[in-house]
Amino acid sequence: MFIKDYSKIKLDLYKLKKFDELKKTYRGFNINLKKYFNKNKPIKIYFKNINCPLCKSKNNSKIFIIDNFTYCECFKCKSIFNNPILKDKFYKEIYKVGAYKNYVKNLTEKGKKIRANLTERRKYNQISSYFKKRKNLKLLDIGCGTGTLMSLFVKNNWETLGIEPSKFSYLIAKSKNLNVTNIFFEEFNYKKKYDVITLFGVLEHVTNPYEILSKATKYLKKGGIIVFEVPSADSLIMNYLKSGHKLNQIYRFIEAARHLTFFSENGVEIICKKLNLKIIFRETNGLDIQTIFNDRKNNNIKEILNVQDLINNMNIGDHYRFFLTKN
C-alpha cells in the first residue's frame, strides 16, 4: 500500500490570507506577548530551558532571536526549537486570548473555500489513496480546527472524531454537525482505535510533540496511518534565517513564537525508531518565496509559484508532511 503522489497545488499566499490581515493578526500576537519580556529580555519566572523536544538531546546552540524569542539548533537531530520556552500555563494562555480568535476568524475561516476545494481536498485524496477497502474507516483529527478537513471525510462516509482545544473553533465545527470534542489531546481517553490519525498544524504548537505522537500511536489500528504537517528545519526559508537574513514585517513561518519546534527529517526518523513507526511518504508544501519577499503586489506571481513548486519538489519547502505507519 502506498500514498498516491498527487501533483502539488500552486498556492498564492495572499489569495489564501490577506496581507493586511496577516500583519494585523501577528501584531496582535506580539502585543500580547510583550508582558513576558523586560527591555526585550525574557523575564525568568515565565520561562524554562528545555532539551530537544524531538530527540531529547541536551546539546544545542542558539542560532537566532525573533520577536525576543531565542531559537536553538539541536546538535544531534538538527531540529530547531524555541529555548527557553514559555512555561506551559503561560503558553496555553496564548490560545485563549482574542489574538487567537482573530487568527481563526481572519486567516483560517476567510480562506476556507480555497482550503476546502484545494488544500484540504488534496489531503483527503492522499490519505484515502492508501486504503483499498473503503468501508468502515475511522478518522481521528487531532486539532481539527473549524472542521474543514473533517467535513470532507464525513462526505465520503468515514466515521470521524475531532479534537479541538479552542472553544471558538470547536463551536464553528459543532455548528457544521461534526463530531468534535473541546479538549486538549492530553485529556483524551477513548477506547476506540482509528485507521487514520491526523495532526495538521499541531505538533509545532505543543511543548511536548514527542509525547503527543507517542500517545497518538496508541490509538492507531494495525495497518493504519498517522499523518502530520509541521514547519521544516531543513527548508529554504530556515536556511535563509540561519544565514543571518531577516524577514521583514510578517513572520508567517515563525508566527511570533507560536511555532515552538521546526522539525528536521532526522528528528522525525529518530522519533519513528523510538515509537516503532515507519515513514511511508513525505513531501514538502511551502510558501518560502512569498514569505521571504513579502511582496503584497504579487508582481511576477506566476514565476514565484513556479519557483516555489520546484522548491517543494526538492523537499525544501517550509512545511513537511509525513505519513507514518506502524512497523
> How far apart (Å, rounded) are the C-alpha atoms in residues 161 and 323?
19
Smallest separation, CB 79 to Zn ion (Å): 5
Closest CB to Zn ion among residues 60, 325: 60
Q: Can you spell out the DSSP letters for 259-290? A: --EEB-HHHHHHHHHHHTEEEEEEEE---HHH
Per DSSP, 62 falls in state: E
Q: Is the peptide bond before 42 cis (omega within 30 degrees of 0)?
A: no
Closest CB to Zn ion among residues 47, 263: 263
Cα distances (Å, whole numbers) of residue 185 to 94, 140, 182: 17, 11, 9
Closest CB to Zn ion among residues 83, 169: 83
Phi, psi of 208 (to 5 degrees): -130, 60
Site of grid cell 471558538: 168
Nearest to 78 by CA among 262, 306, 219: 262
Which residues of this protein are in contact with Zn ion, per CB under 5 A? 52, 54-55, 57, 74, 76-77, 79
Smallest separation, CB 238 to Zn ion (Å): 15
Per DSSP, 107 falls in state: I
Q: Can you spell out the DSSP letters for 107-173? A: IITTTHHHIIIIIHHHHHHHHHTT-S--SS-EEEEET-TTSHHHHHHHHTT-EEEEE---HHHHHHH
Closest CB to Zn ion among residues 55, 161: 55
Closest CB to Zn ion among residues 79, 198: 79
Smallest separation, CB 251 to Zn ion (Å): 23
Smallest separation, CB 327 to Zn ion (Å): 21
Closest CB to Zn ion among residues 52, 149: 52
Closest CB to Zn ion among residues 59, 156: 59
Per DSSP, 73 falls in state: E
Smallest separation, CB 274 to Zn ion (Å): 12
Give bridge partners of residue 48 from the DSSP assignment. 85
Phi, psi of 279 (to 5 degrees): -80, 120
Q: How many helices (H) and strands (E) does the chain have?
A: 13, 15
Smallest separation, CB 114 to Zn ion (Å): 35
> Is the Cβ–Cβ distance between 50 and 85 less than 8 Å?
yes
Smallest separation, CB 80 to Zn ion (Å): 9
